[in-house]
Structure 1
Amino acid sequence: MKRTLMLSAAALAALSLAACNKTAANNAGSTASDTAANAATSAATATNKAEDATGAAVGATSANTLGSHDTGAFVSNASQGDMYEVQAAQIAQKRSKNKDVVAFAKMMVKDHTKSTAMMKPLMAAANQTPAAKLDDRRQGFIDHLNSASDADFDKTYIDQQVAAHQEALDLLQGYAKDGSDAGLKGGAANLAPTVQMHLDKAKSIQAGLKS
């Protein structure tokens, strides 16, 4: 009887040890999986930020070269700029929990919808057709917004906004100065102060997010 009890106790101890080892192995596997997932997320975030920075540089160059005087390039970039702003803002209104970011996004929808309506007849008068959809560069910005984590979303959105509004301001001021179509030059000049205000506000929010 005593031997039976000892064997039972030994078996129970072995089972307990096996269970503990299994739990430890499962926890280790879960930790390794989480670490790998976090590393993949961080790598994707870094890649998206790098692509956004490259896209911003390309946009700045375009705005300050061809877009500043070529009517077709100006119309394409101005119309896509408004389209991107509205789409990005609609995403921000749904995803952001920061009241300043949400208020800014609401202003973007209102003001860029208004600027689209204002520029459309001027573009038609210049025999130009606004872009029907975003190009790959701007669609990439939208894709990166949609894929940003909740923790990174506000900074991703506002960083994009600072770059996009600097690009838009350069485009508008450049065409207002060097463009060939009088109607579009006037429209560009009229919109520039509003875009400057947007840029200043975006930079203010950006500074707050870094603190």
Structure 2
Amino acid sequence: MIVLGAGASPVLAQGSVKDDSKFIREVATDNLLEIRLGDLATKKATNASVRQFGQQMVTDHTSMLNQWRPLVSQSGYPFQPGLSSQQQDEFNRLSKLSAADFDRTYMNTMIQDHQTEISKFQSQGMAAKSNEVRQLVTSSLPTLQQHLNQANQVGAQVGSTTTVAVTPTTPNNPTTQGAPGGGVTPGASTNPAPVSTPGQTTTTTSGQTSTTGTVATQTSTTTQNNVKADAKFIREINQDNVLELRMAQLAVGKAQDSEVRQFAQQLVTDRTRLQAEWNTMASSNGMTLGNGLGKKHQSKLKELQKKSGKDFDKAYLTMTVRNLKDYLDYLQKEGRAAKTTQVRQLVDNDIPVLQNHFTTAKRIGAKVGADTSPQLRSVSTK
């Protein structure tokens, strides 16, 4: 539900958990499926990495299910642990596979399931009517993205094959209207993978790539070396993405102004997508990006955590404007001078989205008394 006030931007109206009951029950059963499939993998997989991944799915999705259980109860429906008929069919299909076929098929399923879950969380979850659901969605997304990145890496070891529809994502949010949503769907590749043009369907098999409709740049030994030559830049971009994502997640829960919260929610959605694209490109070229922060970034996050109320809103927008200014200047200069086409393509995809964030952060920041004086050195898009 959208509420409009005179002269104000649209904001999400606060609803009750019962309004989100269908989504909550779906999340609960999705977690249950991942737990049961993970347990099956620990018993049936022949590859050690697949067994380890299955155990992590049991651990992490059990924790996530326990976090969602109270909301299931609040939604007015007692929690009854059970799979839908479609989920039960999926479980039965995997349980009947031979040991030789299980590892590859299970990892295919994990890649596809987590792509679906992330998409659902970013669309339905971030648009949930209750604040409790939106907060839990926000805190769950990084874990799901980490699972997808790991599934891509482990899947490459066992010859997983996935068909990925790569389509542009345009956030449907008044604070980011006009922001280009092009780029790769979160995690939409396995190792090795191409960088695809939006709208392309790519079938990727371990060691083989076929594309239809548009031209893709396939990973090769030469490209891998170029990407690794940009390793310092890629890791710095990852650190900036992680910091902005954590700041936005904090703002979703702590911001006093509804427009600040809405802006933070959109940043969580956009930054999760952007980070997924960088993680996918990195893992496709033999790099692993972590979710930790350096001392400088940790210091910024700790400083923000100490704020509350109107002081939080002011500090959050001040830091966001400043960070985006520095980040965009860095992308415009060093990013566009990167050694590999893959990195430069992601930079060009990111810049218009982040420019829109910068403009919106300055507008909302001015309203809450933040320092909005930083100016970009360049606002060109190409």
Q: CA shift at 1:130, angstroms?
A: 4.0
CA distance in 2, matches of 1:99, 1:80: 27
Does the Cα contact within 8 Å between 2:41 and 2:50 map onto a contact in 1?
yes
Structure 1 letter corresponding to 2:112: A
Q: CA shift at 1:76, angstroms?
A: 2.1
Matches for 1:119-130 after TM superposition, within 5 Å: 119-130=68-79
Please tell me whether Structure 1 or Structure 2 has the larger radius of gyration of its CA atoms: 1
Q: CA shift at 1:131, angstroms?
A: 5.0
Structure 1 position 141 matched with structure 2 position 90? yes
Structure 1 letter corresponding to 2:155: Q
Q: CA shift at 1:187, angstroms?
A: 0.6
Q: Name the structure 1 match of 2:46.
A: 97
Structure 1 letter corresponding to 2:44: R
Provide the aligned length of Structure 1 versus Structure 2: 142
* Greater strand fraction, Structure 1 or Structure 2: 2
Secondary structure of the structure 2 residue equivalent to 1:133: coil
Q: TM-score, normalised by structure 2?
A: 0.36
Unaligned runs of 5+ in 1: 1-69
Deviations 1:106-151 (A, max 9, x none): 1001000000111111332343444531111111110011111111
Structure 1 position 155 matched with structure 2 position 128? no
* Greater helix fraction, Structure 1 or Structure 2: 1
Deviations 1:17-68 (A, max 9, x none): xxxxxxxxxxxxxxxxxxxxxxxxxxxxxxxxxxxxxxxxxxxxxxxxxxxx
Does the Cα contact within 8 Å between 1:155 and 1:206 map onto a contact in 2?
yes
Instruction: Tell which deviates more after alignment, 122-131 or 81-90.
Output: 122-131
Q: Name the structure 2 match of 1:17.
A: none
CA distance in 1, matches of 2:64, 2:140: 7
Among 129, 153, 158, the alignment partner of 1:209 is 158
Q: TM-score, normalised by structure 1?
A: 0.63
Does the Cα contact within 8 Å between 1:172 and 1:188 map onto a contact in 2?
yes
Does the Cα contact within 8 Å between 2:32 and 2:81 map onto a contact in 1?
no
CA distance in 2, matches of 1:128, 1:186: 21
Does the Cα contact within 8 Å between 1:175 and 1:188 map onto a contact in 2?
no
Q: CA shift at 1:73, angstroms?
A: 2.4
Q: Name the structure 2 match of 1:188.
A: 137
Does the Cα contact within 8 Å between 2:25 and 2:72 map onto a contact in 1?
no
Identify which of structures 1 and 2 has the higher relative contact order when contacts are C-alpha pairs closer than 8 Å and 6+ apart: 1
Q: Name the structure 2 match of 1:72.
A: 21
Unaligned runs of 5+ in 2: 1-18, 160-205, 207-382
